[in-house]
Amino acid sequence: MSLLELIAAADARGLAASGAACLDRCLPQPAEGADPDPLRPLWAGCADPGNWQDRLAEARAALDALPDAPENVLRIAGLLGEAPADRSGEELRTWADACSVLALDIHRAHDAARADAAELVERCRAGDPAGAGPLLAGEAARQVRILEMLAEIGDGAPTGAGLRQVMDVSTEGQRVLRAAASRRARVRG
């Protein structure tokens, strides 16, 4: 299934976790003294739908407290501000979809500048990564993997089931993007 199909078929838990994972992967290396994991409360909200609204507010406050936030953090904070207070319905699907697009766009920007950026991101979401750089193609594959992992967990599973594995996949993706951003900064130097 393509990324678009997986998002369309995902349940509320899958949408919340995939959206949180997309945003988490795109956070830059924290500045010295800054919160190393400002979206941690959002993960707790993914595990317990009853706490989603409170955890969402905590994550928003943590991002707002970051001094001199770079552009990517401002984009993430903007999407976090658009997250629905109720962890259900089409608003959640729309939000998770926007998180997917943001993550792919940020990864694409670290691959190389391309005139057809929006078209390339949409092709990757539709399942055609031809012409995508390794970061963009890897992020599209990571998003598919996360949604497939969450879809495999049955309805009878505990509310937080699978989140540890999703967080592990997301953390690895975060390391890859941060390393690429660091290399790019050194080259520009």
pLDDT tens string, the chain, 189 residues long: the values are 999 999 999 999 999 999 999 999 999 888 887 788 899 999 999 988 899 999 999 999 999 888 788 899 999 999 999 999 999 889 999 999 999 999 999 999 888 656 578 889 999 999 999 889 999 999 999 999 999 999 988 656 676 778 889 999 999 999 999 999 888 878 776
Distances (CA, A) of 17 to 42, 69, 134: 9, 24, 24
The pLDDT score that the predictor gives to residue 112 is 66
Under DSSP, is residue 11 helix (H, G, I), strand (E, B) or coil? coil
Residue 98 lies in domain: 3-188
Please state the domain count of the chain. Answer: 1
Question: Nearest to residue 123, comparing CAs of 114, 133, 132?
Answer: 132
Q: Per-residue DSSP letters for 99-167?
A: HHHHHHHHHHHHH---TTHHHHHHHHHTT--TT--HHHHHHHHHHHHHHHHHHHS-TTS-TTTTHHHHH
Task: Look at the pTM and tell me if it is higher than 0.75.
Answer: yes
